[in-house]
Structure 1
Amino acid sequence: MKKKLQHAAIIVIAIVLIAAIPTTIEDFFMPGSQPGQSGNIEHPNKCDNCHGGYDQAVEPAFNWRGSMMSQAIRDPLFRASLAIANQDAPDSGDLCIRCHAPDGWLNGRSLPTDGSALNNNDMEGVQCDFCHKLVKPTQLGTNPFPDNTFYTSETYRSDQDYLGTLTIIPPQSGNGMYIAHSENAKRGPFSDAEAKHKTKYSPFHSESDLCATCHDVSNPAFSKAPDGTYQPNSLGEAAPSFESYNLFPIERTYSEWKMSAYNSPEGVFSAAFGGTKSYVSSCQDCHMRDVSGYGANKRGIPHRNDLPLHDMTGGNTFMPGIIAELFPGDVDHAALLVGVERARYMLQNAATMQVEVDEVNHKAHVTITNETGHKLPSGYPEGRRIWLNVSTYDINGDLLTESGHYDYDTAVLTKDTKIYEAKIGMSEAVAQAAGDGYEAGESFHFVLNNVVIKDNRIPPRGFTNANFEAIQSPPVDYTYPDGQYYDITTFDYPADTYRITAKLFYQSTSKEFIEFLRDKNVTNSAGTEMYALWESHGKCAPELMAEQTVYLGEPPAPNNDEISVDQITLDRSYTSSKGGKYVMTATVTVADNQDPSNFIAGAEVFGQFSGPTSNSVSGVTDASGKVVFTATSKRANSDWCLDISNIVYSDYTFIATPMVCENQGFAKAGSSIEDAIKVYPNPSTEYATIEVNLKASQDLIIEAYDFNGNKVETLFNGYTQYGISKLEWNTRTLPKGIYFLKIHSNKRTVTKLILIN
């Protein structure tokens, strides 16, 4: 610790001249592993050798690289916030870097605390080897898992030996007080792990307690006084207590879970989260859901149905695209894009909405139910919010009223609606101590904030006021009765209202916060740079979480954009023309109110043919409004199918329709024959490689479509031997944007390619 102070002295002199509070690195000291005590942390690229490149749907490498955990220190919003923190309280950034770049912190590169000394390995954020070194904080002589015989016999002694080397063992997980073992063995939750490297069994890695390490955050510069207020500690000294609940709360995501119904042996039923599990109980169950697959690409690796998906998905859909642009050679753009889709899925399942109408009193009651294991929203409070948008329309579709309007051009939210958020600020005494330019009340100067001004975020199942008071996360300036994990908002509507539409939006950061980072930064350009990125990337456009429309009267008939298929017929005939042909016709009759011209022919024929074949498929719209697909084959003794499960509507939506087959025994879609498809690099600039690994020799078609469903070109159409085949696609002349590759083999696959040329 003294060595750190010597290194810090140089920058403290430079910063203290503009600092609000003259803190030092001692004010932000936290126990646990200290710099130089955790050995070498290996670069994630080394982990990728075994844990990547074989199945992007389940492999750890690809999914972790698409997470914000892997981008924690690259995040320019974090960098801009870090600059303000160091400016307000010198060296406070050390605590931030501790969680966002643990490799840098553990190797003494968190000084200076602006992150300028961090190296390439540190930039990998919360990385593999760091997490798999973690040890549960436990006092010497205490076995944290006394009933687990395997841990007791295999790992307990090693953990105790390392704990004995620490000056102070943290009293609990939280606030970045991690314990990262110095040995090279990788700790994980499976006792039957087979690996080329050393392993240690660790039940800790299945516990939410591990997530608390960086998701239960307090400000150690403020301690709780007997009157319940939070007062500054003496300058130049560590906090008198490292108990999280004795310090000012910044975020309490883990503690909110701890006091929820999810923290129970049975957990809570969830159809949306959990993967292969029906009930979820831990942080990992939702944010590292169980999947079926292999954890590595080596022989002998067990297939698991409880493989944790290493995606750590939250709700950030805004930042991954910016990071991909800022660090094109250091990040996996395709992984980040997939991560955005996962985050969007999480948001769309985090809440449910119900709209009830009181037609007598002209009132609409909108109920939002929290479907997560923590507050909604949770986490870092600066600029993060959820709000209700409620609009009313007359019978002609004209807008009558709107609450919670968001202007996408200006990023201004009209605050005449329910906004779920936490607001923190400074007390009068702290504002006076900070000096000119600082005012008491609501504030984005989070390192100086010591008062919670508002917190109306929706609590999770199992909420009680007493328990949430105990974890420093009670409702503030709002009321939730015990047991309530939903909120009801009432809106008035005009008498001539015909339709009411309610929407729930999420935004990871607000215009007000971005402007604060720009305007208050006087030490570097991080705030200005973040503002420019925000402005050029849609100004963090909100994500739609839920939507419901109710009609006051009879709802209108479905419009032409709604898809349905109500009849499929099969007409097989044999033509006697030269060579002979089998003809299979599938007729799709669409609903009366639909326009058949909106359909794009998209059927295919495939099968197990007895010899050289010539087969084709065509689709037309006949005069009666039917879409008819006809397939032909030369071979009369073939087992073959006409697959119309990929009929495409004008918005490029695939219609779920069955396949019609000539032979009942044919292996239909969803059989055990699965082909592996890779497209790289993705995004692409001038060329893209399409790699297909076929499990059986077969006909193969590869087609490219633009985002609007227009066919760009057929890249391949022919018979292909089993094994790996590669095709290079020249994309140099194509406009940038999103393209879809339709790959027809024994199983139809659609994959997305992004061109950024």
Structure 2
Amino acid sequence: MSGSNLKVGLVLAALLMLFFGTGIIANATPATQAGEYSSDDFTYESRCRQCHAIIYADWEGTMHFNAYLDPFYLEEVRIASEDTDGALDEFCSRCHTPIGVVSAEIPPIDGSGMSDIAKLGVQCDFCHVVSGSNGTGNAPFTVTPGDTKWGPFDDARGNYHESEYLELYTQSEYCGMCHQVINPVNGLVIDDTYSAWKESQYAEDEVVCQDCHMTEGITEFEANPGRAGSGAPKRDHISSHDIVGANTLIPPMFGADNVAEMAVERLQKATTMEVSAPDVAPTGDEVLIDVSITNSGAGHKIPTGVSEIREMWLELTVTDANGESIYNAGSLDADGNIIGANILYNNILADSEGDETKSFWLAESVLEDNRIGPKETVTEQHSFILPENVAYPLTVQSTLKYRSAPQDMIDHLLGEETDVPVVDMNEISMIIYDPSTPADERKQPEPDSTSTPGFGALTAAMVLGITMYILKRK
């Protein structure tokens, strides 16, 4: 499809989706259109911070905070704009800088027409002047800026502003407005976070997004007693506003190591893993190892989001008592490329020619969906011939790994000084003994929890590089 035809198609389809919605909900309201408001109609977060300091501290440094300033997003949307002759400018920006869209400060996509408040991404006042929705997917939100702020409490009273209860704030459909992305021309679902949840046992059990992503429980609801603001009544639960996902790449670039550490913790509680390997194996025999991975902690597929660039894979290594490598699958080479992994657990998209693409705006079909659904278990099988003269015992190390994007993609977009953190989501080790070893001497390691990598140790080169990048963008 040519750039001009794509632009016409996107505009017409996007208008239909914005006016009629992408999902049926009760009490739907027309989606707010570009230019309906001015950025002056919205309140800076510094004003909100005066009464909601704890909530502000939760939000600061998160991916919602950096939804627009995220340098990876800025480069991707720039390329998407060039590829589509600007057709995607408003489409992408509607979630990443919603104030910029409703105030018609986007386009141009380079941000030259944007106010400071529009660059604050998904900020306090925008979220709490959402007064309705026209469905889920592609951001069909209705906003009503002004003195009234909406939220999840039906008895809230404010001194600075009026407060109104809206049930939408307690439902996954609030999150689904942006965390469900559909190509408006061909209907291809690009991000299915909401619909994957909707089809899961979690939805049937009425476990909503907020129960996992706005509590202290990481992957399950855990009450967080407190006050929503100064002078507000103490409640049994106040939603945490860090709303952390799995991004460990971007937050440290803005000094938010704590957000990355929470993302690591979330990743490490998302799965359970079992390894089946023989206790003994003679040389010359084929050794079979099965590794089962269960998505036990996420109410959506893992990975999710722009899952065509996410990378989750299993690294399996076998070494002998002298440290010699017997088998290796899924390790990284010196350039950060994954070598010999059985499978990458991600979504593989194809363009109009049927070729794989990581540019979702060019995607027209799904080649493979290798992600793991909620409560789903997948099993990998690895095999090798045990060579002669190995030194027993053998150590089998199975590690489930994750990173936000391929290293070569980040090298291309942000420069080679930016290392993509790799998270060990889960790990299990086992021992294979010489067949002559008595059964009572064959001891298997006790399972232990995976340690959290230290994100405070990010290199000075990375910090300097991203600082220079942000200054250049400004």
TM-score, normalising length: structure 1? 0.51
The equivalent residue for 1:199 is: 163
Q: How does 1:554-633 map to 2 (within 5 A)?
A: 554=441
1:503 partnered with 2:384? no
Q: 1:22 to 1:308 in 2, by over 3 A?
A: closer
Q: 1:124 to 1:66 in 2, by over 3 A?
A: same
Shift of 1:286: 0.8
Q: How does 1:153-168 map to 2 (within 5 A)?
A: none
Quote the Cα distance in structure 1 between the aligned partners of 2:154 and 2:359. 46
8 Å contact kept, 2:129–2:144: yes
Aligned residues: 410
The equivalent residue for 1:542 is: 422
- Among 197, 205, 208, the alignment partner of 1:282 is 208
The equivalent residue for 2:147 is: 184
The equivalent residue for 2:363 is: 449
The equivalent residue for 1:261 is: 201
1:249 partnered with 2:189? yes
Task: Give the 3-state SS of the residue equivalent to 2:277 in structure 1.
Answer: strand
TM superposition outliers: structure 1 runs of 4+ over 6 Å: 555-558
Shift of 1:195: 2.0
8 Å contact kept, 1:50–1:297: yes
Task: Give the 3-state SS of the residue equivalent to 2:184 in structure 1.
Answer: strand
8 Å contact kept, 1:502–1:547: yes
Quote the Cα distance in structure 1 between the aligned partners of 2:200 and 2:11. 35
- Among 353, 367, 382, the alignment partner of 2:292 is 367
Shift of 1:493: 3.9
Aligned-pair RMSD on alpha carbons?
2.8
Task: Give the 3-state SS of the residue equivalent to 2:188 in structure 1.
Answer: strand
1:357 partnered with 2:277? yes
Quote the Cα distance in structure 2 between the aligned partners of 1:20 and 1:414. 40
Tell me the alpha carbon deviations over residues 714-743 of structure 1, each in whole angstroms, 9 at most, x when there is no partner: xxxxxxxxxxxxxxxxxxxxxx99xxxxxx
1:491 partnered with 2:382? yes
The equivalent residue for 1:459 is: 373
8 Å contact kept, 1:382–1:513: no
Q: How does 1:349-748 map to 2 (within 5 A)?
A: 349-358=269-278, 362-371=287-296, 372-407=298-333, 409-428=334-353, 440-461=354-375, 485-495=376-386, 496=390, 498-514=394-410, 518=412, 527=413, 530=414, 532=415, 535-538=416-419, 540-553=420-433, 554=441
Quote the Cα distance in structure 2 between the aligned partners of 1:264 and 1:19. 42
Shift of 1:296: 4.2
8 Å contact kept, 2:430–2:444: no
Quote the Cα distance in structure 2 between the aligned partners of 1:405 and 1:292. 40
Tell me the alpha carbon deviations over residues 616-663 of structure 1, each in whole angstroms, 9 at most, x when there is no partner: xxxxxxxxxxxxxxxxxxxxxxxxxxxxxxxxxxx9xxxxxxxxxxxx
Quote the Cα distance in structure 2 between the aligned partners of 1:219 and 1:22. 11
Q: 1:370 to 1:105 in 2, by over 3 A?
A: same
Q: 1:45 to 1:356 in 2, by over 3 A?
A: same
Q: How does 1:31-110 map to 2 (within 5 A)?
A: 31=19, 32-37=31-36, 40-52=41-53, 59-91=54-86, 92-110=88-106
Quote the Cα distance in structure 1 between the aligned partners of 2:114 and 2:310. 28
Paired letter, 2:406 = S
Structure 1, unaligned stretches of length 5 or more? Answer: 1-17, 53-58, 138-169, 223-246, 268-280, 325-332, 429-439, 462-484, 519-526, 563-650, 652-682, 684-706, 708-735, 738-757
Shift of 1:293: 3.6
8 Å contact kept, 1:427–1:449: yes
The equivalent residue for 1:292 is: 224
8 Å contact kept, 1:70–1:126: yes
Q: 1:133 to 1:555 in 2, by over 3 A?
A: farther
Between Structure 1 and Structure 2, the one with more strand by share is 1
Shift of 1:494: 4.1
The equivalent residue for 1:633 is: none
8 Å contact kept, 1:51–1:61: yes
1:320 partnered with 2:321? no
Paired letter, 2:196 = E
Q: 1:174 to 1:416 in 2, by over 3 A?
A: closer
8 Å contact kept, 1:190–1:201: yes
Quote the Cα distance in structure 2 between the aligned partners of 1:287 and 1:311. 8
Quote the Cα distance in structure 1 between the aligned partners of 2:177 and 2:327. 46
Tell me the alpha carbon deviations over residues 221-266 of structure 1, each in whole angstroms, 9 at most, x when there is no partner: 22xxxxxxxxxxxxxxxxxxxxxxxx1211110000000000124x
Q: 1:285 to 1:26 in 2, by over 3 A?
A: same
Shift of 1:297: 4.7
Tell me the alpha carbon deviations over residues 470-496 of structure 1, each in whole angstroms, 9 at most, x when there is no partner: xxxxxxxxxxxxxxx010001114435
1:214 partnered with 2:178? yes
Shift of 1:512: 4.3
8 Å contact kept, 1:367–1:486: yes
8 Å contact kept, 2:35–2:101: no
Q: 1:392 to 1:557 in 2, by over 3 A?
A: closer
Task: Give the 3-state SS of the residue equivalent to 1:420 in structure 2.
Answer: coil
The equivalent residue for 1:478 is: none
Tell me the alpha carbon deviations over residues 98-118 of structure 1, each in whole angstroms, 9 at most, x when there is no partner: 100011111110121333322
Paired letter, 2:329 = S
The equivalent residue for 1:636 is: none
Tell me the alpha carbon deviations over residues 165-190 of structure 1, each in whole angstroms, 9 at most, x when there is no partner: xxxxx3x2211111112443111111
Between Structure 1 and Structure 2, the one with more helix by share is 2
Task: Give the 3-state SS of the residue equivalent to 1:135 in structure 2.
Answer: strand
1:120 partnered with 2:116? yes
Structure 2, unaligned stretches of length 5 or more? Answer: 20-30, 216-221, 434-440, 462-474
8 Å contact kept, 2:132–2:143: no
Paired letter, 1:213 = M
Quote the Cα distance in structure 1 between the aligned partners of 2:177 and 2:45. 21
Task: Give the 3-state SS of the residue equivalent to 1:503 in structure 2.
Answer: strand
Quote the Cα distance in structure 1 between the aligned partners of 2:363 and 2:213. 29
Quote the Cα distance in structure 2 between the aligned partners of 1:416 and 1:309. 37
8 Å contact kept, 1:383–1:512: no
8 Å contact kept, 2:315–2:341: no
Tell me the alpha carbon deviations over residues 665-714 of structure 1, each in whole angstroms, 9 at most, x when there is no partner: xxxxxxxxxxxxxxxxxx9xxxxxxxxxxxxxxxxxxxxxxx9xxxxxxx
Task: Give the 3-state SS of the residue equivalent to 2:174 in structure 1.
Answer: helix
The equivalent residue for 1:344 is: 264
TM-score, normalising length: structure 2? 0.80
Quote the Cα distance in structure 1 between the aligned partners of 2:325 and 2:5. 51
Paired letter, 1:392 = V
Tell me the alpha carbon deviations over residues 319-365 of structure 1, each in whole angstroms, 9 at most, x when there is no partner: 1122x2xxxxxxxx3xx221111111101111111111145762111
